[in-house]
Structure 1
Amino acid sequence: MNIKEIAKLAGVSVATVSRVINNNPNVSSASKEKVLSVMAENNYTPNLFARGLNTKSINTVGILCPDIGDVNHARTVSSLEHSLRDRGYDVLLCCTGRQSKSTHEYLHLLSDKRVDAIFMVGCAGEEDPELSEYQKSGKRVPLIIVNGYLDLPGVYCVLCDERTAMCDMVKELFERGCRNMAFIEDSDTYSAYQKRQGFLDGIKLCGLAPNPKLHIRIDPFVQSELFCTKSIFSQLFEAGERIDAILAADDILAVGALQAMVQAGRSFPIIGFNNSEHAVCCTPALTSMDNRIDVQCNIAVETMLDILQGKDAIDKLVVSAKLEERETYRRE
């Protein structure tokens, strides 16, 4: 059905039906009751996108997420959805995978649907070969990246200073006597790059030489992150490799290393990152760097509201990380 048919059945004008659908107060209670009654009897649901052509807003935003199966991505989407829903916005979720082509296709799709804004969960970073696509989308609809950064006009970014957090953690461990620190990672996102560089910054500032054997990268699309990490460190321990601390770019990687350490009968600091549920679902409980994703999401939504209200919005907002101390490392 369309609003013309609804209007005919209710015995009112098309304009009146439109006012009822858009919650316009300039309609009598009697007419409103007639329209709502006919809509209910015929299970009529207004087309949000068609409605947006008249109202300039459909109170709907898009969220681009690489992998909803990733616990960190899922947490970000959930936090965004809750914050947006509290402010009266509905969400369209698009899972892009790791392909930039899919991301660009969804950007076009959401822009064509005239959503009020698009949120991206992380990003590939400056190495993305088609950065111009993000800039084009930013000109059509507010584009806000959570826990990622692209220096482009029309693109707004909220992120955590993960590079400094990782660097400071390396320096702190060095001060406590650690000289053979391992680092493990599993992606090529902007966030992963910042953590990697933070580790290398810290090693350099401490006057240590990078050890290729202790800088480990796995491919989560080929290998199980937890079991692969456990296997790698078990082999290193069996080979007699000297390790006195492990820093991981993600908690699940740290848990795999933790299992190998416990199995080998060793004990030294292990630090995860993201402060996810994985950190508290292991024994001993994992110390993890909290990138405060809930805070990032709230700031991102407030940024969107500022943009939509015509206010000045800052294009890059950075929050500090916080170490969540548990059994694998405690400050004295």
Structure 2
Amino acid sequence: MMTIYDIAREAGVAASTVSRVVNGKPGVKEETRRRILALLEKYHYSPDAAARGLVKQSTRMVGILIEDIRVSHHIESAFVIEQELTKRGYCSIIMGAGAEEEKKLESIRLVEQRRVEGVALIGSMFSGEAVQRGIESYLSRIPVVLVNAYMELPNVSGVVIDEEKGVESCMELLHGRGRKRIAFVTDQETPSNRRKLEGYRRKCREYGLNPEPLIYRVGERSVEEGRRMTERLLTERPETDGILYSIDLIAAGGVRAAVDKGYKLPEKLALMGIDNSIYGEICNPKLSTLDNRRYDSSVIAAELLRLGMEEGIRGQRRLLPCRILERETT
């Protein structure tokens, strides 16, 4: 592999002159610059990224934190952000931060030690006090972007999905189809799920549905838990004619339970998930879902992070509306 010294020797110049050409700096005669560029192209010379980073005091590294890398829509978001930033010459470190607040704080500390120039935090679970302390303590001088969360810090931007309004739209659709007993099956306690439940409760009050909201909570995120909880719900509340699920993953189990119990979908029972994941597409029948625009929000997050790193930190909040994708269960 050719080094900068090999190029300099063949061009008959000092290594520092080649370095100036590689880094686009002035002070080199045009004829000399053209000769060096021709040699660089001839030998497919590629400057060492780490060495250039030391010269420019730049690492071109970005940290991406996820609570649990097994959650498909979060890892897909991380993938989109990583790909978008790779196009701009950045290298990403993706880490699983864990569910506990102190583990998230420790992950923030660890990623800062890698001298990253920006950080993306994926999911509403990163909006807690420990994370805020971590940003203030370790990341206050670099841009931070939250996906589906926001906090008012000068270096933090957030892309927030309007899932509360999205769930209200789902309730409007179901109520417009004559559904009077609509339940909500949710998973873990998160800011995102709290917003979804608030939209559900608001429409229950507005429409006068149910003596009280029908809310069931699964023990874990899985198809099996969705199936088990739906069986329980339909046994305890057989009058239920519509169910909303906090994520498609558990809704897929709900579809299986309803079909096994002999429900005709959507004639007798309408089901809807949230997040427009692959689970909704592989259901039989295919699941109607609330598209929370994971791809769009991730692209926006990557661009906000890039702008923060290249043009200076400028925290901002973006609110992104959801949209309903009707398939075969409504």
Using structure 1 for the length normalisation, give the TM-score.
0.82
CA-based RMSD of the aligned residues comes to 3.2
Cα displacement (A) at 1:248: 0.7
Cα displacement (A) at 1:103: 2.2
Q: Secondary structure at the match of 2:228?
A: helix
Q: How many residues align?
A: 317
Cα displacement (A) at 1:294: 1.2
* 1:256 paired to 2:253: yes
Q: Secondary structure at the match of 1:57?
A: coil
Asked whether the equivalents of residues 163 and 197 of structure 1 are also in contact (C-alpha less than 8 Å), the reply is yes
User: What letter corresponds to residue 227 of structure 2 in structure 1?
Assistant: K
Asked whether the equivalents of residues 17 and 35 of structure 1 are also in contact (C-alpha less than 8 Å), the reply is no
Describe the shift of the 1:202–1:134 C-alpha distance in structure 2 as closer, same or farther (beyond 3 A): farther
Aligned residue in 2 for 1:225: 222
d(CA) in 1 for partners of 2:212, 2:129 = 29
Q: Percent identity?
A: 27
Aligned residue in 1 for 2:95: 94
Deviation string 1:116-162 (CA, Å, 9 cap, x unpaired) is 21111113265434522223344221000112222333211012100
d(CA) in 1 for partners of 2:79, 2:211 = 38
d(CA) in 2 for partners of 1:101, 1:16 = 50
d(CA) in 2 for partners of 1:45, 1:73 = 34
* 1:67 paired to 2:68: yes
Aligned residue in 1 for 2:311: 310
Aligned residue in 1 for 2:216: 216
Describe the shift of the 1:157–1:278 C-alpha distance in structure 2 as closer, same or farther (beyond 3 A): same
Cα displacement (A) at 1:87: 2.3
2:240 to 238, 243, 250: 243
Describe the shift of the 1:130–1:159 C-alpha distance in structure 2 as closer, same or farther (beyond 3 A): closer
Aligned residue in 2 for 1:161: 162
Q: Per chain length, whose mean CA-contact separation is higher, i.e. which structure has more relative contact order (CA < 8 Å, sep 6+)? A: 2
Q: Secondary structure at the match of 2:311?
A: coil
Deviation string 1:216-261 (CA, Å, 9 cap, x unpaired) is 11232xxx62112212222333446321101011001111111111
Deviation string 1:15-47 (CA, Å, 9 cap, x unpaired) is 56865875768686777899999999xxx9946
Q: Secondary structure at the match of 1:283?
A: coil
Asked whether the equivalents of residues 203 and 210 of structure 1 are also in contact (C-alpha less than 8 Å), the reply is no
Aligned residue in 1 for 2:203: 202
Q: Secondary structure at the match of 2:297?
A: helix
Cα displacement (A) at 1:270: 0.6
* 1:265 paired to 2:258: no
d(CA) in 1 for partners of 2:36, 2:87 = 30
d(CA) in 1 for partners of 2:123, 2:237 = 38
d(CA) in 2 for partners of 1:24, 1:137 = 33
Describe the shift of the 1:303–1:33 C-alpha distance in structure 2 as closer, same or farther (beyond 3 A): same
Aligned residue in 2 for 1:144: 145
Deviation string 1:67-125 (CA, Å, 9 cap, x unpaired) is 22211112101111221122222211111121222322232233333322111111326
Describe the shift of the 1:29–1:9 C-alpha distance in structure 2 as closer, same or farther (beyond 3 A): closer
* 1:190 paired to 2:196: no
